[in-house]
């Protein structure tokens, strides 16, 4: 991902003289100016928080719940727009309560990511001061608070965890709750569905399953259904704050013994598991991700106990089998649909 949308935000950094807030999602900048004591960072991705802390910033992890920051009176709020509209609108709406009376909101992004639309919509809530550009494709805008904003951008009630989808598996209907900000929050991923259906095919090849690891758990679809299938406890992990919140919510609601851990690629988890389930990410924000599949495979290998098995589901075009051979002795395609394949790794 190129840095030009961030460069537009950085061009304002020299004007920061008081407490300011930089809101970052899963797309951290490739390069950034030295840490500035006045600029706090908030991100919903645990790895981005760690990265920014290593760069010397005061960075915190949250699903952009700004309640504790309201009335801080920030001089600037900086935001490079996110891929998810509801999230971006939530951040843009919230800036109103975060800024001091003459504070400024600065947003930036690429034209192909819809920055022009965000600039137009934000102009209805704030006083538009200026639009400035890096080139034809990368734009930013600067806003001031108006006294009584008449418009709120549609954020789909971003903070609210609500019932979103239901699934019947193993003769039981489970209602999942979710929220914007989580991968595919209001749908069931067909690949994950195929993985759950495939568990029947491998259960007799497994040692007694006492505990399962779900890497990249999202709102907990695989965690809940796999734990129910084997009547066991689950460790679920994701790098996204909204996923952690909703997965925990669903496991609690189903009365499943669990731990939900915010980590990138299961980093820091030390236990071993009889079964690892995983539907790895294919995109990170606006970019296509290749390395993460490798990192997820590596984590699965490290966390598998003797005789354990990892089950991955991916789009047909992802060369998972070839990648997996670097880490596993046995790589078997056990199920496929027109779009997905399920692979068992030992």
Residues contributing to the site for ligand SAM (CB under 6 A):
47, 183-184, 189, 192, 216-218, 221-222, 238-240, 243, 264-265, 279, 281, 292
CB of 317 to ligand SAM, least distance (A): 15
Strands 304-315 and 273-278: parallel
**Helix axes of 221-230 and 190-202: crossing angle, nearest 10 degrees:** 20
For residue 175, which phi and psi values (nearest 5 degrees)? -100, 125
Rounded Cα distance, 221 and 217, in Å: 7
* CB of 100 or CB of 253, closer to ligand SAM: 253
Can you say whether residue 55 is alpha, beta or left, with left for phi > 0 and alpha for psi between -120 and 50 degrees?
alpha
Nearer to ligand SAM, 47 or 113 (CB): 47
**Residue 200 has what DSSP assignment?**
H
For the bound state, the minimum distance from the C-beta of residue 171 to ligand SAM, rounded and expressed in Å, comes to 21
Tokens 């789009």 — which residue? Answer: 315
Give me the half-sphere count of Cα atoms (radius 13 Å) on the Cβ side of residue 323.
Answer: 18
SS3 call for 260: strand
Contact present, 264 and 47 (Cβ < 8 Å): yes
* C-beta of 95 vs 226, nearer to ligand SAM: 226
Q: Which is nearer to ligand SAM, 115 or 243 (CB)?
A: 243
Residue showing tokens 């491998």 = 202
Q: Which is nearer to ligand SAM, 40 or 238 (CB)?
A: 238
| Smallest separation (angstroms) from ligand SAM to the CB of 170 | 17
CB of 258 to ligand SAM, least distance (A): 14
- The residue among 189 and 294 lying less far from ligand SAM, judged by its C-beta, is 189
SS3 97: helix
Distances (CA, A) of 219 to 17, 52, 222, 255: 40, 26, 9, 15
Please give the DSSP secondary-structure letter assigned to residue 3: S
Rounded to whole angstroms, the Cα distance separating 291 from 15 reads 37
Q: Please report how close the Cβ of residue 182 comes to ligand SAM at its closest, in angstroms.
A: 6
Shortest CB 243 distance to ligand SAM, Å: 5
Q: How far is the CB of 232 from ligand SAM (least distance, A)?
A: 17
Smallest gap, in angstroms, from Cβ of residue 221 to ligand SAM? 4
Of 104, 26, 21, 86, the closest CA to residue 57 belongs to 21
180 within 8 A of 84, measured Cβ to Cβ: yes
Q: Between residues 25 and 113, which has the closer beta carbon with respect to ligand SAM?
A: 25
Half-sphere exposure of 11 (CA within 13 A, CB side): 17
87 or 243: CB nearest ligand SAM = 243
């Amino acid at each position: 991902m190129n840095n030009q949308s961030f460069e537009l935000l950085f061009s304002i950094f020299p004007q920061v003289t008081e407490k300011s807030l930089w809101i970052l999602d899963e797309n951290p900048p490739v390069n950034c100016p030295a840490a500035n004591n006045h600029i706090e960072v908030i991100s919903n991705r645990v790895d981005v928080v760690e990265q920014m802390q290593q760069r010397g910033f005061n960075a915190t992890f949250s699903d952009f719940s700004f309640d504790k920051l309201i009335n801080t009176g920030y001089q600037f709020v900086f935001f490079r727009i996110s891929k998810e509209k509801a999230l971006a609108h939530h951040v843009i709406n919230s800036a109103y309560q975060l800024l001091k009376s003459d504070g400024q909101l600065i947003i930036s992004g690429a034209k192909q990511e819809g920055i022009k639309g965000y600039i137009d919509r934000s102009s209805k809530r704030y006083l538009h001061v200026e639009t400035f550009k890096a080139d034809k494709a990368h734009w930013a805008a600067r806003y001031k608070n108006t006294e009584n904003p008449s418009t709120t951008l549609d954020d789909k009630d971003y903070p609210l965890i609500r019932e979103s989808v239901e699934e019947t598996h193993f003769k039981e209907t489970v209602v999942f709750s979710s929220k914007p900000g989580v991968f595919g929050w209001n749908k069931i991923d067909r690949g994950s569905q195929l993985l759950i259906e495939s568990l029947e095919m491998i259960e007799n090849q497994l040692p007694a399953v006492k505990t399962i690891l779900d890497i990249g758990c999202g709102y907990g679809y695989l965690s809940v259904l796999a734990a129910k299938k084997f009547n066991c406890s689950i460790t679920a992990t994701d790098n996204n704050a909204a996923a952690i919140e909703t997965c925990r919510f669903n496991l609690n609601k189903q009365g499943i013994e669990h731990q939900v851990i915010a980590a990138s690629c299961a980093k820091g988890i030390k236990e071993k598991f009889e079964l690892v389930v995983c539907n790895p990410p294919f995109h990170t924000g606006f970019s296509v991700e290749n390395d993460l599949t490798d990192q997820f495979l590596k984590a699965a290998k490290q966390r598998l106990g003797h005789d354990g098995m990892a089950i991955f589901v991916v789009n047909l075009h992802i060369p998972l089998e070839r990648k997996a051979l670097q880490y596993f002795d046995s790589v078997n395609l056990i199920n496929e649909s027109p779009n997905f394949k399920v692979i068992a790794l030992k």
